[in-house]
């Protein structure tokens, strides 16, 4: 919900860290006695005020290079010290999750869904810090369980996460006759791993997540998702997914990219070269399934991508799922295959046993096929008027 240089975890924009100084001064969880100089406090407030003023001008640049204040060692959510980072911000200005918490509610606002917002009532802030790549916020909500937010964008809520995790995993896996080796790009919360592990035919599950901070907070605060890491078939690589694929050609039966939105560094995940890299890393007959944005908001992103990769992949299809806490309550999947498939990926070639189906809250064989049936406006917008 993207950022990490080539794979973020789900939907994310890029963050603004200076605003965290306000949170630092107002929240009791910060250790004030660890700040050695009052000058640091004053300067952080000054930078925050200047940032608010500058960003309000219509000509203000969204690409700002400036020093960053980071909490602790970057990847350690338990280190609450505040220090100046040697790193400079090189990505577009994004959001600090705590800036979106007002009067006990979290309000998600983003560049890709202007004019609308998703609000959740906050019961308790569980974690807030900056990793080496992004602002990470976890809070307990009143009605949706624990919520993971990256750079101000909701990635996961415990109440509805299953609809996304089950569909992005089981659509490609049940469309493949015998998947044995599966690669996950992003997906640091572990939910996709949990679903892949339900397939007995899979012998090896590899995940490339560039931000270890996402893995750590998910294991602590989202155990029902992070249980996916407990499967002995899982191998974790904290690294750039594109580099990993370059080193592993013709290796995987299924590749699942659980990415965030095409803002900043994550934009490369929605471009043809990244899909070419996945194609090269697939075995013949393999399938890729990637986060494909929202039918109601992003057909201008979806259609050019579908058109461009259709020259490389044998078949390119689009499916979707419903999920209340994602923008407009819906998110799609681009499903593409390497090699001929008589019915594409729309019809599952395997199905879960009765016992396994009882463990699933959303996916079913019937819903698999139905997910590819698009509203008329979306079908025309993505595949053209002649389809």
**Local confidence pLDDT in tens for the 387 residues of the chain:** 543 334 444 444 333 333 333 343 334 333 333 334 444 444 444 444 434 333 333 322 222 222 233 333 344 444 433 333 344 444 444 579 999 999 999 999 877 788 899 999 999 999 999 998 889 999 999 999 999 999 899 999 999 999 999 999 999 999 999 999 999 999 999 999 999 999 999 999 999 999 999 999 999 999 999 999 999 999 999 998 999 999 999 999 999 999 765 554 444 555 678 899 999 999 999 999 999 989 999 888 899 889 989 999 999 999 999 999 999 999 999 999 998 877 789 999 999 999 999 999 999 999 999 999 999 999 999 998 776
Q: What's the pLDDT score for residue 73?
A: 37
Q: Which residue of the set 135, 253, 258, 261 is catalytic? A: 258
pTM, 2 dp? 0.76
Sequence-separated (6 or more) residues with CB below 8 Å from residue 365: 174, 348, 351, 352
The pairing of strands 252-258 and 234-237 is unpaired
Q: Cβ atoms within 10 A of the Cβ of 351, count? A: 14
Catalytic site residue 135?
no
DSSP three-state, residue 361: coil
Which helix (H) or strand (E) segment holds residue 77: the answer is none
Nearest by Cα to 64 from 107, 19, 11, 23: 19
Angle between helices 272-281 and 299-309 (to 10 degrees): 50
387 token code pair = 């389809």
DSSP character string of 156-167: EETTTHHHHHHH
Please report the beta strands in 300-354, taking only residues with DSSP state E, as ranges in sequence order. 315-322, 330-337
Q: What's the pLDDT score for residue 110?
A: 77
Residue with tokens 């969204």: 62
Q: Cβ atoms within 10 A of the Cβ of 330, count? A: 17
């Amino acid at each position: 919900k993207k950022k990490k240089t080539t794979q973020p975890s789900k939907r994310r924009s890029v963050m603004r860290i200076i605003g965290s100084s306000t949170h630092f001064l107002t929240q009791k969880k910060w250790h004030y006695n660890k700040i050695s100089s009052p000058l640091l406090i004053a300067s952080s407030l000054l930078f925050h005020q200047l940032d608010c003023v500058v960003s309000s001008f219509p000509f203000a640049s969204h690409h700002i290079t400036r020093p960053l204040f980071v909490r602790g060692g970057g990847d350690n959510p338990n280190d609450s010290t505040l220090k100046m980072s040697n790193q400079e911000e090189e990505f577009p200005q994004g959001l600090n999750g705590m800036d979106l918490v007002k009067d006990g509610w979290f309000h998600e606002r983003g560049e890709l869904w202007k004019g609308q917002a998703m609000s959740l009532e906050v019961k308790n802030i569980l974690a807030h810090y900056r990793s080496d790549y992004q602002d990470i916020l976890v809070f307990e909500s009143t009605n949706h369980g624990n919520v993971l937010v990256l750079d101000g964008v909701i990635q996961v809520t415990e109440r509805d996460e299953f609809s996304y995790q089950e569909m992005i995993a089981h659509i490609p896996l049940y469309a493949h006759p015998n998947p044995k080796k599966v690669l996950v790009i992003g997906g640091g919360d572990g939910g996709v791993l949990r679903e892949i592990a339900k397939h007995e035919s899979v012998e090896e599950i590899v995940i490339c997540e560039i931000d270890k901070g996402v893995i750590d907070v998910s294991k602590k605060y989202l155990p029902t998702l992070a249980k996916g890491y407990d499967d002995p078939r899982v191998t974790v690589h904290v690294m750039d997914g594109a580099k990993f694929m370059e080193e592993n050609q013709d290796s995987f039966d299924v590749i699942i990219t659980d990415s965030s939105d095409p803002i900043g560094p994550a934009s490369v995940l929605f471009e043809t070269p990244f899909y070419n890299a996945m194609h090269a890393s697939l075995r013949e007959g393999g399938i890729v399934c990637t986060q494909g944005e929202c039918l109601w908001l992003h057909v201008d992103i979806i259609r050019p991508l579908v058109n461009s990769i259709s020259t490389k992949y044998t078949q390119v299809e689009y499916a979707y799922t419903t999920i209340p806490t994602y923008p407009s309550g819906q998110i799609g999947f681009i499903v593409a295959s390497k090699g001929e498939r008589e019915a594409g990926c729309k019809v599952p070639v395997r199905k879960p046993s009765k016992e396994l189906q009882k463990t699933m809250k959303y996916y079913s064989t019937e819903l698999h096929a139905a997910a590819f049936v698009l509203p008329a406006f979306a079908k025309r917008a993505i595949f053209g008027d002649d389809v």
